[in-house]
Structure 1
Amino acid sequence: MTKLKLSSAQMVANARARIKEIETPDLIAMLDDPNVVIVDIRDIRERQRSGYIPGSFHAPRGMIEFWVDPDSPYFKDIFAQDDKMFVFHCASGWRSGITTATLQDMGFDAAHLKEGFSTWEKQGGPVEFPEPKA
């Protein structure tokens, strides 16, 4: 295989160098803030297996750019709230870092959970699980 011009690790590092990162304890403290919208970009199977942050909005990574763009036919109204702080997260902070940088490039203001969901429960964050399907 030909060597890539830019590795995924470098993409994450480049993104993290220019976006707002929120530490896990800080986001836990913001959990009840009505001005904060936590957006979980993990795959639905990750949410089912590991649980999710209570009140978080699920937006699959592959649809984010379309869901935040008001000119897209896939636009979601939740992203029209200019007075909210959006915090994106994935499992480890890699996908959400790149996502947040991409959204910033689009003109959408957002931050991300630095270490992702991987440290959430260990640091005292509450977790919910979807209802089992009958």
Structure 2
Amino acid sequence: MKEITAKEVESLIKERNALNIIDVREVDEVAEGKIPNAVNIPIGAVESRIHELDKSKEYIMVCRSGARSGSATEFLESQGYHAINMQGGMLAWEADVE
């Protein structure tokens, strides 16, 4: 499984790279703050909403600590998608949230 650090994601955002970030936390967790422009798809809905994703794009998966997003990353990879897990999740995120 490919992984990326929160600092690397922050740097990519600052460089104005267009990132596809999927936050797999529950709606109430995301309401407390998420990475700007991240799309919320709760972990339990990833399989049923997989049709919303594009196999030609790369997705950075995020959760609270990195465990759920790791599971989502492995699932997406098994389905032929390009996914990267953000290590440490939002606990490691030090930049702005929306």
In the alignment, which residue of structure 2 is the partner of 1:97? 70
Distance 2:66 2:54 in 1: 24
User: What is the match of residue 2 of structure 2?
Assistant: 20
1:30 is paired with a residue of what secondary structure? helix
The answer for unaligned runs of 5 or more in structure 2 is none
The answer to whether the aligner puts 1:107 opposite 2:87 as a matched pair is: no
Task: Tell me the equivalent position of 2:60.
Answer: 87
**Partner-residue secondary structure (3-state), 1:120:** coil
- In 2, the alpha carbon distance for the partners of 1:111 and 1:43 equals 19
Task: Please tell me whether residue 64 in structure 1 is matched to residue 46 in structure 2.
Answer: yes
Q: Is the 8 A contact 2:55 2:82 kept in 1?
A: no
Which of 1 and 2 has greater Rg? 1
Q: Which residue of 1 aligns with 2:25?
A: 42
Q: Which has the higher contact order (CA 8 A, sep 6+)?
A: 2
TM-score relative to the length of structure 2: 0.90
Deviations 1:65-84 (A, max 9, x none): 2222xxxxxx22xx1261x3
Moved over 4 A (4+): none
TM-score (norm 1): 0.67
SS of the residue corresponding to residue 104 of structure 1 reads helix
User: What amino acid does structure 1 have at the position aligned with 2:54?
Assistant: A
Identity %: 30
The structure carrying a bigger strand percent of its residues is: 2
Partner of 1:33: 17
Amino acid across the alignment from 1:111: I
Size of the alignment, in residue pairs?
96
Q: Secondary structure at the match of 1:87?
A: strand
